A and B are shown apart, each in its own frame.
Chain A
Amino acid sequence: LTSIDKDLPQKYLTKVLFEKLGYVAEIAVQITSKSYKTGYARQTYSDYDVLGVRFEPDLQLLRIAAECKSGEAKAVEELLKLKGVLTAFGIQRGYLIKSKIAQNARELAGNVGITTFSAAELQQFLTTAFRIDLDETLRTEAAANISLRTLDARFGSGFEQLWKYLRFEFWNRECHRNVQALLRLSASLSKQLDKRDSAHRFGAMRVLYYLSLALLELCGKVIAMGLSDPGRTFSVQIFGGARERREREVLFDMVHQYVPSSQDAVFAFEPDYMSGLSELAMRLIRSASDAAEIPRFLHGVIEEKFMGIGDRAGGAGTVTRKLSQDIALFVMKAAALDRAIFEELLAY
């Protein structure tokens, strides 16, 4: 995403469309994978111009994605590429947004379940269905995007590993790995985070937002797979399922048998925060319909407090706010973070 990106206005309007449909939307999400070529390295497959996520009231994750193009040609090729990406990565719905879309592409889009909007159609739909002031919206989104990039770059310069994880890894990993990795990375940064630096507080809030996505997806698996004994189901799913947990247990037993712990750190299969994490997950599951709104609330707080978009989080319910703060309080304890790092959220 650069300042000369001709597709940016369409991406902004598509982001707004996704938000109006109830999703939290993000622009320019990388699709990557790791593979062995000459060595173990990250490969970029493609990207989502706009990715939208939301949770059903039973915490099942829904994802939608859009391809936004300013040109008028090659609609069929772009449509088929988008369909491939949606299928390969399990995205539920797709949108193709172009300046103009040929009729043959529209016919094909209908057959493969992709919604098409020309630029004019998208603008008209946003104006009539949601009464959106397009000029004002574009100005607001452009300014917010600049704020986002500026804060993100400042945060990334100080916390490169965490920044890379959020940018390149998060959307390409299973939720249980994301939960553990984000908590581990947060803990490793606790002494460097400066509560007086807005970029640091912004970064911490972004971590909290992504952690909430991963944790809610994990809770959705618990609801879908084992609600009669959610604690046990969670303790299995946090390691990726029964077989993966068992393999890790066996590996742990072998290592523990032959290598003694050091004076200050001990081998432990479950991290110290596991009981707190499990208790937090049970709370989210018990209040699933309110918990489903947490990502939208947290993203709203980030947009409102750090990106200058007014009143994005105010509509959240009391339980949603409370649960969001519970996640922050848990992270503060698990990662030994200063309470002030989440002051914008805790004061909400």
Chain B
Amino acid sequence: MKALDQAIALLQTGEPHLESEDVQSARQLLLPGHYLNPTATRARFASVDPATLTTPAVEYVNDIIRGAAVDFD
């Protein structure tokens, strides 16, 4: 049915309908290896070591969050 809608849109306006987010999401779910269920996701995150930052990096993150960073200007 959606294919028919797209065909009609193409004939009438020369442009297809923009694809909906549902279609994009479904396409992602169908790709192998991209989707983990919640239980698997939690297990995977638990095994990852948290990142560590140097002191200047921590201060820089603080600056960015506070709105005080000027380095990237």
- Decide yes or no whether A260 CB sits under 8 A from chain B: yes
Which residues of A lie under 8 Å from residue B57 when comparing CB positions? Answer: 262
Within 8 Å of chain B (Cβ to Cβ): is A266? yes
Q: Select from chain A the residue with minimum beta-carbon distance to B73.
A: A169
Q: How many A-B residue pairs have CB under 8 A?
A: 72
**Residues of chain B with a CB closer than 8 A to A270's CB:** 66
Q: Please indicate the chain B residues that have their CB under 8 angstroms from the CB of A161 in the complex.
A: 70
Cβ contacts B53-68/A at 8 Å (1 or 0 each): 1111111011101111
Chain B residues with Cβ below 8 Å from A169 are 70, 73
**Are the CB atoms of A184 and B58 closer together than 8 Å?**
no
Q: What CA separation (Å) do A265 and B67 show in the bound complex? A: 18
Interface status of A268 (Cβ within 8 A of chain B): yes
In angstroms, how far is the closest chain B Cβ from the Cβ of A14? 30
* Interchain CB contact under 8 A, B65 and A266: no
Q: Is A73 an interface residue (CB 8 A)?
A: no
Say which size band chain B's interface belongs to.
Answer: 20 to 34
Q: Which range contains the number of A residues in contact with the other chain?
A: 35 or more
Cβ of B52 under 8 Å from chain A: yes
CB distance from A255 to the nearest CB of B (A): 6
Contact B55–A263 (Cβ < 8 Å): yes
Residue on A nearest B60 in the bound complex, by CB: A265
Question: Is residue B3 contacting chain A, with contact meaning CB distance below 8 A?
Answer: no
Segment of A141-149, A173-181, A196-204, A303-311 in the binding face: A173-181
| B32 interfacial by beta-carbon distance below 8 Å | no
Partner of A259, one of B51, B59, B68, B69: B51
Q: CB distance B61 to A258 under 8 Å?
A: no
Closest to A177 in B: B67
Residues of A within 8 A of B (CB): 34, 40, 42, 161, 164-165, 169, 176-177, 180-181, 183-185, 239-240, 244, 248, 251-252, 255, 258-271
A-B contact pairs, 20 of them (CB 8 A): A161-B70, A165-B70, A169-B70, A177-B67, A180-B67, A184-B63, A239-B66, A248-B66, A255-B65, A259-B50, A259-B51, A260-B51, A261-B58, A262-B52, A263-B55, A264-B55, A267-B58, A267-B61, A268-B62, A270-B66
